Structure 1
């Protein structure tokens, strides 16, 4: 049991490098992405941001978790929402239980302020997915979701959504229409060009504002670090 806990702790340290190694080159790249997001909309500050990918395993959940941390480190009150109601991971990343969460709020079993959890990182709160529902797309497109969105923006400076991959289900498209900006994560050497093109088309059809693309897992020469780039 102790071995499993140690492995989980090490995994979380790798996943949330901005929290556990804030001076690393990778953490600096996340801060660069944060700056690029802020410059992308100078007149109107982005308060709601969706992070997605074309397919699974491209690093969207790691990216959104680290972005949440660097925004919180800037002094903003941040809420990270696990809107992947099919394969949620935020509760694993931040060592939370998932007995209640977003689905509990949307079905009015809990209020938002009762459902959010403190992460131990100053200014950063998470809302896990909660119990996996039989109808994720319907819940995300419901009036209850509209109300949640407004309540969250009233309580927090910025709300970040971790969503399912675009090409797998329609959930991300539903949220893309609601959020003020979208970040698309692609994995170097894994994501196919036609997948990226299709993902961009889906975001366009949802009238989403694509702020940029994060190139993930790009191995740089003469270094052991994998850099994360924000590409406008």
Structure 2
């Protein structure tokens, strides 16, 4: 098993429009201009902030906060707009609190996800190789797999490439709750042969991220995943999206995770610090023996 270990501390989208003046460079608007516009500051107030800034040699945002013309949230929102980086306002944070990579993109937790993203991209996307989907697997429920998968998908989408998160946990799906999206139809509908409109949904405020939820929880998850339709679907999706990340059922529930990983072509193991048992992790990785799946690493989740 290759090592890809990063500690993560979990927290259990209408993000602001970050597309201001996209034709220009990253710094086409100053933080001061954005804050002044957002808070409707008068010319007099802007001048006071600038004077306070000059006297103390600090940034405009810090000066505006010190004078009571803005708050820390305004500064983060302005930064996200300046760098065209998706950022969720308070109303979205309340609806999707687990999406720390979207709610707090400049936090240490989000930075950890970006570091893991970089490692995954170096190992998963190699020149000359066919593009593969990535299954995130773990031995037990409550390992934090759905939380991890959701935030990894967000960070991949923040690069600008079309990213699809597939919820293939046909036993205890959670991605529709995490992203606050409709779950009336989804993967189970497709695998059952039912034609449903709009099974793939775009995440509000993050135009490059899409989610395929489970839909109705089926009574026969293993049988559905073993159907040729699932493998064909994953190959088709991997060809249409820049990144395809797949959430799975915990290994404790049976063969689901191994089947999904085999159809994806690549897998990442998530373990929970001080909780995951070595024997369970070994059984999970052994289940991938003999199938055409590359195990790209292991992440240790700390919470």
Alpha-carbon spacing, 1:30–1:46, altered in 2? closer, same or farther (3 Å) = farther
The structure with the largest strand share of the pair is: 1
Alpha-carbon spacing, 1:8–1:87, altered in 2? closer, same or farther (3 Å) = farther
CA contact (8 A) 1:49 1:160 kept: yes
| SS across alignment from 2:218 | coil
**Which one of the candidate residues 23, 26, 33 is aligned to 2:116?**
33
Q: Separation in 2 of the partners of 1:198 and 1:110?
A: 37
| SS across alignment from 2:244 | strand
- The aligned residue for residue 12 of structure 1 is 96
- The aligned residue for residue 227 of structure 2 is 142
Q: What residue ranges of structure 1 are gaps of 5+ in the alignment?
A: 1-5, 219-232
Q: CA deviation at 1:45?
A: 6.6
- The aligned residue for residue 106 of structure 2 is 23
Q: Separation in 1 of the partners of 2:104 and 2:93?
A: 14
Whether 2:244 is the aligned partner of 1:124: answer no
Q: CA deviation at 1:116?
A: 0.5
Alignment of 1:167-186 (within 5 A): 167-186=252-271
| SS across alignment from 2:198 | helix
CA contact (8 A) 1:73 1:122 kept: no
Q: CA deviation at 1:94?
A: 0.4
Whether 2:273 is the aligned partner of 1:197: answer no
CA contact (8 A) 2:157 2:209 kept: yes
- Per-residue CA distance 1:10-29 (angstroms, 9 max, x = gap): 4732x211011111111111
| SS across alignment from 2:263 | coil
- Per-residue CA distance 1:112-147 (angstroms, 9 max, x = gap): x72101111220000110111111111111122123
Aligned residues: 211
**Which one of the candidate residues 252, 270, 273 is aligned to 1:188?**
273
Q: Separation in 2 of the partners of 1:205 and 1:24?
A: 40
**Over alpha carbons, which structure has the higher Rg?**
2
Q: Separation in 2 of the partners of 1:51 and 1:155?
A: 20
CA contact (8 A) 2:231 2:264 kept: no
- The aligned residue for residue 228 of structure 1 is none
Alignment of 1:155-166 (within 5 A): 155-166=240-251
CA contact (8 A) 2:168 2:187 kept: yes
Whether 2:129 is the aligned partner of 1:63: answer no
CA contact (8 A) 1:174 1:206 kept: no
